[in-house]
Amino acid sequence: MSQVQGQKTVVFVKSLILYLFMSVGAVFVLFPFFWMIFVAVKPEGQAFSLTVSFAKPLWKNFISIWCDPSYPFWRFFINSVIVATSGGILTTLFCAMGGYVFAKKDFYGKNILFWFLLSTMMIPGMMFLVPQFAIITKLDWINTYRGMVLPHVASVFGIFLMRQYIETVPTSLIESAKIDGASELQIFGKIIIPLSSAVMTTLFLLTFLFHWSNFLWHLVVNTPDSSKLTIPVGLALFRGQYQMDWEKMMAASCFAIIPIVIIFLIAQKFFIEGLTTGAVKE
Per-residue pLDDT reduced to its tens digit, 185-237: 888 888 888 888 888 888 898 899 899 989 889 999 998 888 899 999 888 87
Output the pLDDT for position 280.
44
Q: What is the mean pLDDT of residues 258-273?
A: 75
Residue 58: pLDDT above 90? no
Of residues 79, 212, 193, 201, the one with CA closest to residue 152? 212
Q: Please give the pLDDT value at position 279.
A: 45
Residue 265 clears pLDDT 90, i.e. is over it: no
| CATH superfamily of this structure's domain 61-277 | MetI-like (1.10.3720.10)
Tell me the residue type at 91: T
2 phi and psi, to 5 degrees?
A: -65, -35
Percent of the chain past pLDDT 90, that is, above it, reads 21
Does residue 212 contact residue 259 with C-beta atoms inside 8 Å? Answer: yes
Backbone angles phi, psi at 27, to 5 degrees: -65, -45
Q: Is a pLDDT exceeding 70 seen at residue 276?
A: no
Q: How confident is the model at residue 240 (pLDDT cuts 50, 70, 90)?
A: low
Residue 61 to residue 31: CA distance in whole angstroms:
21
What pLDDT shows up at residue 243? 63
Q: Give 107-160 pLDDT, tens digit per residue.
A: 888 889 999 988 988 888 788 888 999 999 999 999 999 999 999 898 899 999
Q: Which of 20-24, 65-69, 83-87 has the highest mean pLDDT?
A: 83-87
Give residue 80's pLDDT. Answer: 93
Mean pLDDT of the chain: 83
Least confident range from 41-45, 96-100, 182-186: namely 41-45
pLDDT at 70 over 90: no
Specify whether the CB–CB gap between 277 and 194 falls below 8 A. Answer: yes
Give the number of other Cβ atoms within 10 Å of residue 273's Cβ: 13
Q: What is the pLDDT at residue 92?
A: 93
